[in-house]
Structure 1
Amino acid sequence: MTEHRPLHILLVHVWYYPHVGGGNQHVEQIGMELVRRGHKVTVWCADVPEHDENRFNRGGIDVIRIKPSRVLAGVDPVVSINDLSLDGVDLIHLHDTLPILIRKTLKRAKKEQIPVVTTYHNDYIKTSIFGKIIKKIRWAMQGRDTLHKSDAKIVLTSYFENLLRIKGVKGKLDIIPNGFSKIEESPSIPESLIDRNSQRPLLVFVGRLSFQKGLDILLDAVDKFETDPGFDLAIAGKGELSEWLKERHTKLERSDIVKILGLVTDSEKLWLYENATGVVIPSRFEGLPTVLLEAMHSSCPVIMSDVNGLGSLVSESNSGLSTIPENPEILSKAMHEMANSENEQLSIWGKNGFETSKKYLWKSVTENILKVYRRVLE
């Protein structure tokens, strides 16, 4: 392959704009960076939630949203790709291993002899016995098969490399982390916070309002404070728990310290990072969350639940506090500690986070992904 020949890359992920989540942001950022380098990029995704347009261009990327006939278990859209063309596609990059869209695309790629790269983003959690059994069966019959049939396999961290070895994945695994782009807009304070007492420390949660992101754990931690803890908590984002959050908020003993912002703009998000005492990430499972990288690059200390080795990333770089996952008591203590830390300590955490984040900028990450593409196409 001629190294500088423009490529046509098909990126496939179930979720994409306007859906809110780290996975689709990951795909979009890779796509836009590839477009900047002169490559053609197409995205296939499910039309969930339903969007006004099924085919459009966003950021130089041709997006094709596929209407599902139904959505299994609320998370796996049943789609058909029979009427979609792969003409001119040089390489397909799958983002996930289990969904129907992913497996159907892989089958088409193998039939049409188009190389496939697959990124394994994270390991989802099932709590019921039945759920755990189904998870094992699906992995054995579908997930592992997707990776073994791929021409290259990417994981986000060494934790996932070790996990996949335990789960029986053979062959080379490339470790390429999630990336992020610096927010270029000027910071703008969310309207809901204009009248807040700015002398009080502010902790923030930014992300999808979901079970995975540990929103319930965060509010259970707030409930541990019987009196005013001396700080405020702002929750920014939307998701399947949006209505639940409104109801849960009314039942909090200290509902007065919690500000619900809804979905924020990039300008407002940047303001939160630059003005917060710390960002709280109480997730149950993660790959490498964009919010973590964005906060660190903004010199904002972080409280990270120690899932999939992410707590170690924070503690070893001394950029904040690591907490035991799914433990509201420990989380509440960490929130209190950060909110009451001296400015000198906050500055140390912030500066270390900024330095650590530099290697995760999308420019560097995409170059490593391109190296994998070139290797596969040789």
Structure 2
Amino acid sequence: MKILFLSPYFYPHIGGVEKHAYILASSLMKKGHSVVIITKKHNNKLKSYEEVDALKIYRFNQPKVKYLGLIYTWFWLLLHFNLIYKSDIIHCHDIFVWYLPFRLLLPNKPVFTTFHGWEGIYPIPLKNIIYKKIAAKLSKGTLAIGKYVEKYYKIKVNKISYGAVSTPKVPGSKVRNEIVYVGRLDSDTGLLIFLTVLDLLKKIKDISFSVNFCGDGELKTQCAKYGRVHGFVDPAPYLSKARFCFASGYLSILEAMANKCIILTGYDNDLKKDYYLDTPFSKWINSSNNPEILAKKIIRFYFNTKLTQNAIESGYNWIKGQTWETLLNDYLSLWKKTTAS
């Protein structure tokens, strides 16, 4: 099949959606499919077109002006209409609105959407709910990363997933007092709760924790007071050493579980609570809106080796089934089932 991905960002940009789309596209190529990606430039030094591992990547500069950026995107896609017309499958990663006019122009062209997440604003603005409702209604099939998407956006999807991960071939050597945070350094990720946890841990005598932050954002300067901020980097080297991981999203949770970390998450609204707890892995993560509870859990795991190992192995056994091959088959079955109907 000839498959076209529309994604807000793509390689070499670092993020959960980007990694999801990149590994999925690479897996499709290995199965003999052709994959083209259309995405925004996050850096003007990037080429407008290049091939990476046989993936054909088209990039454009989207004006950062409300509505003008979307109009320009539609115009750019119209100039490259052939990429759409020649594709057997169109798959939008969140940004169905890019494809909206072409859904009307090509009503029989199979188009699908993956809803990767929320916009970080709670309560969710009505317009964001409407956008997802339109995408769900006009897509031939849909996949949501997380069950909470259906509840909070009032839509029904064909398939719910939580992503995928590769387990390390060689397990890392854990450092008992090392903590890593993985995700954006913004207030909607539960980061402020984590910083409060660190304040509480500092008050405990005879224990000193080393903290690494894999991410960037508005709270970067504040985070630098607690540990080393590395920016958006591959968290694998830090996850392999850390005993504890404060994770902000599904990918970071899965990667931490695959690296045998004790996982902590913080929430400050009902959506984020469901995001973490209405999941098949909720029993293997430590989630709360109370920093004192999370701090006590860290200390408990720090001193109780048997409890730590039991918690880690239970999650690790589950994560071994969350492979990229399984995710690929989810996409292939979605496309096959809905295009055949």
Could you state the TM-score of these two structures normalised by the residue count of structure 2? 0.84
Cα offset for 1:276?
1.7
**1:154/1:176 contact within 8 Å kept:** yes
CA separation in 1, counterparts of 2:167 and 2:65? 34
Measured in 2, the distance between the counterparts of 1:295 and 1:226 equals 24
How many residues of Structure 1 are paired with residues of Structure 2 in the alignment? 328
Amino acid at match of 2:93: H
User: What CA distance in whole angstroms lies between the structure 1 residues aligned with 2:77 and 2:185?
Assistant: 30
Q: Among residues 166, 169, 172, which one is paired with 1:181 in the alignment?
A: 166
Preserved CA contact (<8 Å) 2:216 2:231:
no
Kindly tell me: are residues 352 and 138 of structure 1, through their superposed partners in 2, closer, same or farther at Cα, counting changes over 3 Å?
Answer: closer
Aligned to 1:334: 297
Candidates 260, 272, 277, aligned match of 2:229: 260
Q: Which residue of 2 aligns with 1:193?
A: none
Distance 1:224 1:50, change over 3 A: farther
Structure 2 counterpart of 1:301? 262
Q: Which one of 87, 90, 111 corresponds to residue 88 of structure 2? A: 90
Structure 1 equivalent of residue 18 of structure 2:
24
Question: Could you list the runs of 5+ residues in structure 1 that have no partner in the other structure?
Answer: 1-6, 190-197
- AA aligned to 2:239 is Y
2:109 is the alignment partner of 1:114: yes
Deviations 1:218-246 (A, max 9, x none): 223222345356142422323333xx423
CA change 1:48–1:334 in 2 (3 A) is same
Report if aligned partners of 2:140, 2:339 keep a CA contact under 8 Å in 1: no
- Identify if the C-alpha distance between structure 1 residues 58 and 216 changes in structure 2 by more than 3 Å, giving closer, same or farther: farther
Q: CA RMSD in A?
A: 3.0
Alignment partner of 2:24: what SS?
helix
Q: Taking every aligned residue pair, what percent have the same amino acid on both sides?
A: 20
Report matched runs for 1:330-369 at 5 Å.
330-338=293-301, 340-369=302-331
- Using the alignment, how far apart are the partners of 1:110 and 1:233 within structure 2? 54
Q: For each residue in 1:15-73, what CA deviation from the matched residue of structure 2 results, as whole angstroms up to 9, or x when unmatched? A: 22222211111111211111111111111111124342121122332111111122549
The answer as to 2:244 corresponding to 1:278 is yes
1:62 aligns with 2:56: yes
User: What residue identity is the alignment partner of 2:110?
Assistant: P
Match of 1:246 among 203, 221, 224: 221
TM superposition shift of 1:332: 3.1
- Structure 1 letter corresponding to 2:119: Y
CA 1:299–1:200: 2 relative to 1, 3 Å: closer
Equivalent position of 1:236 in the other structure: 213
Q: Structure 2 CA distance, aligned partners of 1:199 and 1:68? A: 44
Report the CA distance shift for 1:212/1:237 in structure 2 as closer, same or farther (over 3 A): same
CA distance in structure 2 between the partners assigned to 1:78 and 1:334 by the alignment: 50
1:365 deviates by: 1.1
Which amino acid counterpart does residue 239 of structure 1 have in structure 2?
D
Asked whether the equivalents of residues 94 and 118 of structure 1 are also in contact (C-alpha less than 8 Å), the reply is yes
Distance in structure 1 (CA, Å) of the matches to 2:259 and 2:176:
20
Name the TM-score, length of structure 1 as normaliser.
Answer: 0.76
For residues 116 and 199 of structure 1, what CA distance do their matches in structure 2 show? Answer: 47
Does the C-alpha gap of structure 1 residues 353 and 59 become closer, same or farther in structure 2, counting only changes over 3 Å?
A: farther
1:158 matched to which residue of 2? 147
CA contact (8 A) 1:21 1:208 kept: no
Residue 277 of structure 2 aligns to which amino acid in structure 1?
G
Gaps in structure 2 of 5+ consecutive residues? none
Counterpart amino acid of residue 293 in structure 1 = L
Higher helix share: 2
3-state DSSP of counterpart to 2:224: helix
Q: Secondary structure at the match of 1:359?
A: coil
Q: Indicate conservation of the 8 Å contact 2:14/2:232, yes or no.
A: no
